[in-house]
Amino acid sequence: MADTMQDTTQTCSTSCAEDSSIPFAFDLRTLAYSALAILLLPRLATLVFLPILSRIVGGTLGWYLKRASSGRRAHLLSLMKLDQERFRDERLRIRKPGDKDDKLANVDPGSASANAGEGWCGVVGFLHPFCNAGGGGERVLWAAIRATQLRYPDALCVVYTGDHDVEKEAMIAKVKNRFNIHLHSPTIAFVYLSTRHLVVASTWPRFTLLGQSLGSIIMAWDAFHLVVPDIFIDTMGYAFALGFCRLLFRRVPTCAYVHYPTISTDMLESLDPSSPLGSRGVNAGQGTGLRGAAKKAYWHLFAALYTRVGATIDVVMTNSSWTQAHIQKLWGPHRKTDATNPIAVVFPPVAVTELEEKIDVSPASEAQREKILLLIAQFRPEKDHQSIIQSFAKFVKSGTLASRGARLVLVGSVRDDGDSKRVYQLRLLANELNVKDSVEFHLNASWPEILEWLRKSSVGVNGMWNEHFGIGVVEYQAAGLISVVHASGGPKMDIVVDVDGEPTGFHANDVDEFAEAFEKALSLPDPAAMRQRAQISARRFTEEEFARKWTAQMERLVGMLR
């Protein structure tokens, strides 16, 4: 009896122990699965739910924008057809044999199929809110539109601009006068943005990069609310606007022509005062201390966002090898289309052919050259006019034979009050350095005026550090000027390079080196030989070559619509 009770007790204890362990084990598994779910949920949301949600929201907003802008789009296309009919009657009278248009009309697209998108008649949107600025970036815009018009004569080119004070015909006339680019009026339209101020640096005194990028997204919404294009092209560097387009319109191909990366590895490195670039740029050496650490973190975070957005762009063109290297480093590893549409260097168009035709470069033409050092550049801070004036003053004070009677001529466009104040400060600087009578300013000069300065000047100057390309430097070479440029960026890597092992100009890093280079350039025993080599070097950057490469990229974009 006792044994039976003991067995029963043991059996009961064992059974109870087993029963009690089941809920305990179950609780551990549940807890483990719950913890794993909590850990994986954010990742799962990032990988699955957020993309699905963004597509739904983006698609809905895109549908709304297409519907809201459909009336304006139809109206613009209708006006284009009417203007085209009027133009056809006068075409033979307007287009004379030998015009520049005839040269570009025969451009072979090169690597792309000559029949790609033949007869395509869609809408190409060009985001360029400062199209009236009159600089090198604007030359690219108008040359790109002209090449697009010639390749796709039935397509409508829409320019999204914030220049409300200039109407279409006045803009086209200015383009012809400033750049000698002849646009076809019927197939170009301007739509006017009301949010351009959101991409101006002064609007965002703090967190400027992020603020301007957010502003570009709002500006893109403004643009799409006016007209939704079939192809969307940014020619000013608003990568976030292109990313926003991809979110709204999955089937609209996007294209970026990058003059300068919004943020680059050079910028990140310049924050460190101990790095080779720690003395360059407006934020040089500012990465120290608590505030510097915060700035570094902010810039690296922004670079990550910039990389993510840039990787979504279908077709990417850069204006130089320097820009390509930086964009490739940021966007290249993450671009899914990099194998089929690699980041291409498309050098900006320069009026090389016209300059060669209008400006004689030979030993006989040396008599027409004066001791003029010519700087063609917009009056922006990064162009560093101040250092060039200081270099010139140092050169003049040297009292050498080459410096006697030398003049510095500054030619450039003025965009706003900020540029006007900058010119005023530069005039004061020239006065303080006692070279006021030897420094001249010519603002918003026309193309004929620029031609005249190129014809009679001897030296062409560019002082910008890490100039992304340097259209003005190519103009110097095509006109036979001896270039003195900063030893960085496009001028060093792509333009002022040796021809047949002989130099085509000089490189300099600081005020002293520029002054020495001025002396060398105006003391050459045979300047005509270097001028002719420079002209040969410039032939790589013709308008025809730009049109050929741009057309090839446009055909890729049109092909993505099929």
- Residues 122-349+544-559, CATH architecture: 3-Layer(aba) Sandwich (3.40)
Q: Quote the distance between the C-alpha of residue 337 and its chain's center.
A: 20
Residue type, 109: P
Sheet holding 231-234, edge to edge: 188-192, 156-161, 123-127, 231-234, 254-258, 315-318, 344-345
Beta strands in 438-552 (DSSP E): 439-443, 459-462, 482-486, 505-508
3-state helix, strand and coil shares in percent for the chain, rounded to the nearest 5: 55, 10, 30
Q: How confident is the model at residue 519 (pLDDT cuts 50, 70, 90)?
A: very high
Q: Are 549 and 344 in contact (CB under 8 A)?
A: yes
Q: What integer is the mean pLDDT of 24-31? A: 55
The b/e string for 378-401 (b: 16+ C-beta within 10 A; e otherwise) is bbbeebbbbbbbbbbbbbbeeeee
Whether pLDDT at 107 is above 70: no
**Residue 562 pLDDT grade (very low, low, confident, very high; cuts 50, 70, 90):** confident
Task: Tell me how far apart the alpha carbons of residues 83 and 188 are, in angstroms, rounded to a whole number.
Answer: 10
Long-range contacts of 474-477 (CB under 8 A, 24+ apart): 474/350, 474/352, 474/538, 474/541, 475/350, 475/351, 475/355, 475/376, 475/450, 476/374, 476/376, 476/505, 476/534, 477/504, 477/505, 477/534, 477/535, 477/537, 477/538
d(CA 34, CA 504): 70
Phi, psi (deg, nearest 5) at residue 427: -65, -40
Most confident of 146-160, 273-287, 336-350: 146-160
- Examine the pLDDT at 268 and tell me if it is beyond 50: yes
Query: Tens of pLDDT along 327-372?
Result: 999 998 888 777 778 999 999 998 899 899 999 999 989 999 999 9
Q: Where are the domains of the chain?
A: 122-349+544-559, 352-541
Would you state the structure tokens that stand for residue 137, as one six-digit string?
């970036």
* Residue 139 in this model has a pLDDT that exceeds 70: yes
Confidence of residue 263 (pLDDT cuts 50, 70, 90): confident
State the DSSP string of 327-381. Answer: HHHHTGGG-TTTTTS--EE-PPPB-HHHHHHHS--SGGGGGG--SEEEEE--S-G
Specify the DSSP element, H or E, that contains 215: helix 208-226
Residue 428 neighbours by CB distance under 10 Å: 11
| pLDDT at site 468 | 86
Per the structure block, which two tokens stand in for 249? 């319109």
Quick one: pLDDT at residue 499?
Answer: 93
Please give the mean pLDDT across all residues of the chain: 86
429-451 per-position pLDDT tens digit: 999 999 999 999 999 998 889 99
Mean pLDDT computed over 15-22:
43
Do 122-349+544-559 and 352-541 come out as alike in CATH topology?
A: yes
Q: Which pLDDT value is given to residue 108?
A: 44
SS3 of residue 43 by DSSP: helix
This prediction has a pTM of 0.78
Structure token pair of residue 239: 């990568």
pLDDT tens per residue across span 33-59: 566 556 655 655 555 566 677 788 888
Q: Tell me which DSSP letter residue 496 carries.
A: S
Specify the fold of 352-541: Rossmann fold (3.40.50)
| Of 442, 258, 238, 246, nearest in space to 343 by CA | 258
